[in-house]
Amino acid sequence: MFKIFYFIISVLLITNFVNAESVKVFEFTEKELSELKVRKVRGADNKTVYSIGLNKNGNFFKAVADNAASGLGKEVKIDLNKTPFINITWKIEQDLKGIKEDTKKGHDFSARVFVIKKTGSTALSNRAVNYVFSSNKSIGENWPSPYTKKSIDNVLSSTKDNFNEWVTVKANVKEDFKKFHNLDVKELSGIAIMTDTDNSKKSAVAYYQNIYFSAD
């Protein structure tokens, strides 16, 4: 039911303590991918398949989901007072047109990057902001997850505007936790990427590149 939280608790594998003014989260290498492994969401029929690719801007993760849901995550300790902005470069090659992403049956995204703040001793007590590349909604729309109000879906990109092309987006994570959860978060606890189609039973293809935190 609470697939985001069951997922994040299983993928928090590597802890990074970072205080620089620009903090890279993923290296996008074969070594990193093998260390992160792929963690399937509880109840999903299949795993999303992740692989490494290369273009003129460097390495990226390619994600292919066919009635599948699994992701890659890290436990991180990022000082949001110093580096509050998350920067994401991503692309959707195959989207999920026609689904209702704010319902349980349609709660899938061709690409998502979610950030976690631990607020208790269990995964279900955590708070999350789920930055999504929507197939149906417009940029700027947001809503509570149909599974739990402790996770907010926030559209940073949409295939209505950018389909099958690379796009770079930025969001102030510190401000978003205050806006959506009324929490003054000084330190982030975890981050993960996931391409999932287990609710809609559809297929999606996405690419992730150059995910980092910055001061501005």
Q: Report the percentage of the chain scoring pLDDT > 70.
A: 88
Question: Does the CA dihedral 28-6-18-87 come out positive or negative?
Answer: positive
Q: How far is CA 33 from CA 19, 25, 27, 46, in A?
A: 24, 13, 9, 18
Mean pLDDT of 127-143: 98
Task: Give the pLDDT of residue 12.
Answer: 45
Lowest pLDDT segment from 25-34, 73-82, 120-129, 198-207: 120-129
Task: Give the pLDDT of residue 123.
Answer: 66
Task: Give the pLDDT of residue 42.
Answer: 81
Selected residue with higher pLDDT from 133 and 125? 133
Mean pLDDT of 58-71: 97
Write out the DSSP string of 65-124.
Answer: EESBEEEEEEEEEEETTT--EEEEEEEEEE--TT--TTSSTT--EEEEEEEEE--SSSGG
Task: Give the pLDDT of residue 40.
Answer: 76
Average pLDDT of the chain to the nearest whole number: 90
Lowest pLDDT segment from 24-38, 50-64, 144-158, 165-179: 24-38
Nearest to 152 by CA among 161, 160, 143: 143
Q: Report the percentage of the chain scoring pLDDT > 90.
A: 79
Q: Is the pLDDT of residue 121 over 80?
A: no
Q: What residue ranges define each of the domains in the chain, with the CATH number in brackets?
A: 3-214 (2.60.120.260)
- DSSP three-state, residue 216: coil
Q: Which neighbouring-strand residues pair with 168?
A: 89
Read off the pTM: 0.90
Mean pLDDT of 88-102: 98
pLDDT band at 168 (very low <50, low <70, confident <90, very high): very high
Task: Give the pLDDT of residue 13.
Answer: 39
